[in-house]
Structure 1
Amino acid sequence: MTASSHPRSGFRLADLTWVDAADLIGDGLPVVIPIGAASRAHGPHLPLGTDRLVVEVVAERLLASLPVLVAPCIAQGFQPAFMDYPGSQHIEADTFQALVTEIIEGYLRHGAERILLLNNGISTEAPLKLVAQTILQRHGVRIATADLPRLGSTSASADDLDERDTSLLLAIAPALVRLDRLEQMAEDAAEDDEDGFIEGDDEPRLLSLRRPLRFTPEERAGGVLNRTGTTGDATTATAEKGERLLAAVIDEIVADLRQLWPDL
């Protein structure tokens, strides 16, 4: 079981014995580390595990296209904006960085020379940049990172994140999308507009300044009121949009990896 005998497909590390893992790492297969929260609010219509579900599907499709080793998903992360919603979990930036750094160093210790962080999060982007810099300074290894919200047909903004996530879930796990609540959310938004109230309208759009965000379902000092825990309008989401987005994301990552590592 070597890279040369499987030139177009990869393996899940969790499915291998340590002997097989040693052989494949020794053959130079890149290690792909998915990172996606298994417990973050995405509104009342999407599961807490949306980020993890999406990044694991992306990893599976990469595995089907390239000779890579897909590591188990890191399913906890730095998610301060949604920590007030029940079920959401958040770990501090230092803890998250230490966790990812130690996992990467474990693979380096076993002989891996090429590592890709497959990140499905926005708040995790900044800590992961510091992780990559730490690995470079300590070990002289340049870690590659693919930030999924920045890939595909359009880069995600706060206005379209919910449509994007909902489309992806409709494509990969439609049974987990609460369409009945999606309809209710649209009705509630229309009522809010009629009342002259828009969630989070106390947060001005600043062109040159930036401040941290902490959404809250109830009034809280320093928080931005967001009763549903959504960012954007999900009513226009479709499974077709999700499939097109997934295909575009995979195409971009595969093209870049083959440019970075031409032997793949």
Structure 2
Amino acid sequence: MKGAWLADLTWPEAKQRFDDGAVVVVPIGAASKEHGHHLPLATDWILAQGIVDRVLAELPVVAAPIHGHGYYPAFRHYPGSQHLNPTTFASVLQEVLEGFAAQGVSRLVLLNTGVSTTPVLTVLVREFYERHRLRVLCANITELGRDTDQMMSQKFGGHGDEHETSILLALAPDKVRMDKAAPDYGHLESLPKSAFYVPSCFDGDEESGWDFSCYGVRGDPSLASAEKGEVMLKAIVRDVVEGIRTHFPDAV
């Protein structure tokens, strides 16, 4: 039996899979968040869908609908970007998880394609475990497929960069405007090096210091290619599949 999107099943089919102990993956990918002048607002959504489609081809898991709204504070001022405060984001996902638990699902995985969402999800799954004694696993995009980092030529990245653009070229090349892809490191190269966490946002005002971003990007998307993206995507999917098999060997 192959994996399936929950939305494609009937409710009796969903019940059967839940009763059989299926792993349920809840993907999180912004449906509308700025990614520079060259990538669509739906970049994270496309990434989440692309990863899950490939996981479903390998494992008999059930994928919940993509959660398209999250905590994205650095981008909230860009037209079209949609953002929830961390409390609302956590509350909505908590209800989603509790709904699955009430329907008998005991194997739950969050697939998180965001960065600012990570600390919120870490607290959420820890507190969820405290209340329900149900471990919800969380796969964060920043930890997946990292053995392909050496393929990057950019000085550094982090958003709408060579890495993310390459993956979109592999998944949805018709949605990428490579003629508008340009290097954008802002003023981050002048950021003092230390062990401190430094909060930031993206700001088009060059006087805004380390927050400045000319296009809403961190990195050099002009170096991206579909070939790189395919290698990166395979590595990400491999890590997700191996992680699910490691934690739920009797379910897959």
- Provide TM-score, normalisation by structure 1: 0.87
Count of residues in correspondence between the two structures: 245
Q: Matched residues in 2 for 1:74 and 1:86: separation? A: 20
Q: Matched residues in 1 for 2:148 and 2:124: separation? A: 26
Q: Write out per-residue CA displacement over residues 85-134 of structure 1, whole angstroms, 9 at most, x where no aligned residue.
A: 11111110001000111100000000000001000011000000011012
- Judge conservation of contact 1:26–1:111 (CA < 8 Å) in 2: yes
Q: Matched residues in 2 for 1:171 and 1:144: separation? A: 27
The within-5 A match list for 1:220-231 is 224-231=211-218
The within-5 A match list for 1:1-264 is 6=1, 9-152=2-145, 153-154=147-148, 159-161=156-158, 162-182=161-181, 185-186=182-183, 199-201=186-188, 204-218=191-205, 224-263=211-250, 264=252
SS at match of 1:215: coil
- Judge conservation of contact 2:39–2:165 (CA < 8 Å) in 1: yes
RMSD (Å) for aligned C-alpha atoms: 2.0
Q: Write out per-residue CA displacement over residues 186-245 of structure 1, whole angstroms, 9 at most, x where no aligned residue.
A: 5xx6xxxxxxxx622486143211121111123687871212000111111110111001
- Judge conservation of contact 2:27–2:111 (CA < 8 Å) in 1: yes
Consecutive unaligned residues in structure 1, runs of 5 or more: 1-5, 190-197
Consecutive unaligned residues in structure 2, runs of 5 or more: none
- Judge conservation of contact 1:202–1:224 (CA < 8 Å) in 2: no
Paired letter, 2:111: L
Q: Matched residues in 1 for 2:191 and 2:141: separation? A: 27
Deviation at residue 256 of structure 1 after TM alignment: 1.8
> Aligned pair in 2 of structure 1 residues 158, 126: CA closer, same or farther (>3 Å)?
farther
SS at match of 1:145: strand
Mean Cα deviation higher: 200-209 or 77-86: 200-209
Q: Matched residues in 1 for 2:188 and 2:162: separation? A: 20
Q: Matched residues in 2 for 1:101 and 1:222: separation? A: 37
Paired letter, 1:120: T
Q: Matched residues in 2 for 1:98 and 1:180: separation? A: 40
Q: Matched residues in 2 for 1:201 and 1:261: separation? A: 41
Deviation at residue 58 of structure 1 after TM alignment: 0.4
SS at match of 1:216: coil
- Segments of 4+ in structure 1 off by > 3 A? 154-158, 219-223
> Aligned pair in 2 of structure 1 residues 135, 222: CA closer, same or farther (>3 Å)?
farther
Paired letter, 2:213: N
Q: Write out per-residue CA displacement over residues 27-59 of structure 1, whole angstroms, 9 at most, x where no aligned residue.
A: 000100000111111110000110110011101
Identity, in percent, stands at 39
SS at match of 1:33: strand
Mean Cα deviation higher: 165-174 or 149-158: 149-158
